[in-house]
Amino acid sequence: MNQPNAPLPADVLLRAQSLSVRFGGLLAVNDVSFDVRRGEVFTLIGPNGAGKTTVFNLISRIYAPTSGSIAYAGPAGTVTLTEQPPHRVAGLGIARTFQNIELFEHASVLHNLLIGRHTRRETGLWADMLFTPRARAAEIRAREKAEAVIDFLELQHYRDTLIAGLPYGVRKVVELARALCTEPQLLLLDEPSSGLNVEETDDMAFWIQDIRDELGITVLMVEHDMSLVSRVSDRVLAMNQGQVLATGTPHEVQTHPGVVEAYLGTIDDVSSLRRPEGSAVGVRA
Ligand SMILES: Nc1ncnc2c1ncn2[C@@H]1O[C@H](COP(=O)(O)OP(=O)(O)OP(=O)(O)O)[C@@H](O)[C@H]1O
């Protein structure tokens, strides 16, 4: 199953090669190729149904491609991600957040972070049950990491609050925190601004930049809010109807004629568009 892989170039963390996904008669992703470079924020944009989430789900192994493959520079060398079982993805240093927050409502922020950390389990079942010195050391490391992430994302005030009692904007940050507790090298963010107001979206932009700049984590996100995209992305890939329209800097992509056409047909720059406050949807075709 795990074929020897040619290593990726040193600056490339993930390489998608000719990915296609067919759902019955629909070609949802059609021959899509791109590189995600180490230490960048790489963003997938595109109108409704463009295939962004499907590409995302290929990377997190929720879907398998109909054809094509994804090479990924994992901790132990380059692997073909599309050949890995889904449960191996977290162990390869890939974490994700979801468009619809998925947290344990009746557990505290700290407990949610510790549960998240367990996807990065360092000890076996017996060691855990017998609480061996190794299991104890792993537990201490998990708590230290959770506390460090709480400090990093300024969640101290909410540390012991149940998720059910938190405003939506804080829950989004807790979801980010839970992903960071697994110590990823690649963080997948699925519409990080969805459901956030303008101020919360601003905060989210700061967190994403800090995650890249201070923690050195590579970020791949799907996002509709073009102001957030412009602010935080190093490079953007625009899709439409399953295909790549353009790849480049936010400005290059937003002013690309094919992208403008796909979004609006008329306006010559989509950067001024913004999702209405409080709405879960953004710029649409
Ligand atoms: N599991 C599935 N079964 C059948 N069709 C699917 C499935 N998942 C996605 N699709 C279809 O594939 C196409 C691409 O969907 P996808 O969710 O990837 O688009 P998107 O760019 O993420 O859109 P949005 O911005 O609305 O989330 C759509 O036509 C969608 O209806």
- The 10 Å Cβ neighbour count of residue 250 is 21
Mean pLDDT of the 69-92 span:
92
State the Cα angle at 52 between 46 and 55, rounded to 5°: 150
Mean pLDDT of the 185-212 span:
96
Q: Is 96 in the pocket of ligand 1 (CB under 6 A)?
A: no
Q: Is 46 in the pocket of ligand 1 (CB under 6 A)?
A: yes
Q: Is 51 in the pocket of ligand 1 (CB under 6 A)?
A: yes
Reported pTM: 0.86
Q: What is the mean pLDDT of the chain?
A: 87
Q: What is the amino acid identity at position 109?
A: V
pLDDT of residue 119: 58
Check if CATH label 2.170.190.11 holds for domain 1-93+184-285.
no
pLDDT of residue 1: 45
Q: Is 260 in the pocket of ligand 1 (CB under 6 A)?
A: no
Q: Is 62 in the pocket of ligand 1 (CB under 6 A)?
A: no
Checking if the pLDDT of 64 tops 90, the result is yes
CA atoms within 13 A on the CB side of 30: 13
Q: How far is the CA of 3 from the centre of ligand 1 (A)?
A: 30
* CA 247/CA 40 separation, integer angstroms: 14
CA distances to 53, 54, 145, 241 from 49, rounded to whole Å, are 8, 9, 37, 7
Checking if the pLDDT of 257 tops 50, the result is yes
pLDDT greater at residue 4 or residue 240: 240
Checking if the pLDDT of 12 tops 60, the result is yes
pLDDT greater at residue 93 or residue 135: 93
In which residue are the tokens 């021959």 written?
31
- Identify the band that residue 6 occupies on the pLDDT scale cut at 50, 70 and 90: confident
Within the chain, all domains assigned CATH 3.40.50.300 are found at 1-93+184-285
- Identify the band that residue 278 occupies on the pLDDT scale cut at 50, 70 and 90: very low
pLDDT greater at residue 165 or residue 126: 165
- The 10 Å Cβ neighbour count of residue 247 is 17
pLDDT greater at residue 279 or residue 203: 203
Q: Is 54 in the pocket of ligand 1 (CB under 6 A)?
A: yes
Question: Both tokens of residue 251?
Answer: 């400005």
3-state secondary structure of 28: strand
Question: Both tokens of residue 120?
Answer: 């990065």
Whose alpha carbon is nearest atom 1 of ligand 1? 23
Question: Both tokens of residue 225?
Answer: 């809010």
pLDDT of residue 228: 96
What is the arrangement of strands in the sheet containing 235-240, beginning at the earlier edge strand? 94-96, 186-190, 218-222, 41-45, 235-240, 243-248
129-175 pLDDT per residue, tens: 666 667 778 788 889 999 999 999 999 999 999 999 999 999 999 99
pLDDT of residue 102: 79
CA distances to 39, 131, 171, 251, 282 from 237, rounded to whole Å, are 16, 47, 28, 11, 17
Checking if the pLDDT of 201 tops 50, the result is yes
| Residue 74, beta-bridge partner list | 77
Q: How far is the CA of 53 from the centre of ligand 1 (A)?
A: 7
28-58 pLDDT per residue, tens: 999 999 999 999 999 999 998 999 999 999 9
Checking if the pLDDT of 88 tops 80, the result is yes
- How would you class 157 by CB atoms within 10 Å of its CB: exposed for 0-12, middle for 13-18, buried for 19 or more? exposed
Mean pLDDT of the 216-232 span:
96
pLDDT greater at residue 5 or residue 186: 186
* CA 227/CA 180 separation, integer angstroms: 24
Whose alpha carbon is nearest atom 5 of ligand 1? 23
State the Cα angle at 33 between 28 and 38, rounded to 5°: 125
Pocket test for ligand 1, best of 20, 29, 45, 54 (most atoms within 8 A of CB): 54
What ipTM did this prediction achieve?
Answer: 0.96
Q: How far is the CA of 50 from the centre of ligand 1 (A)?
A: 7
Pick from 110, 115, 112: which is nearest to 150 by CA?
110
Contacts with 77 (C-beta within 8 Å, 6 or more apart), sequence order: 5, 7
Mean pLDDT of the 255-278 span:
62
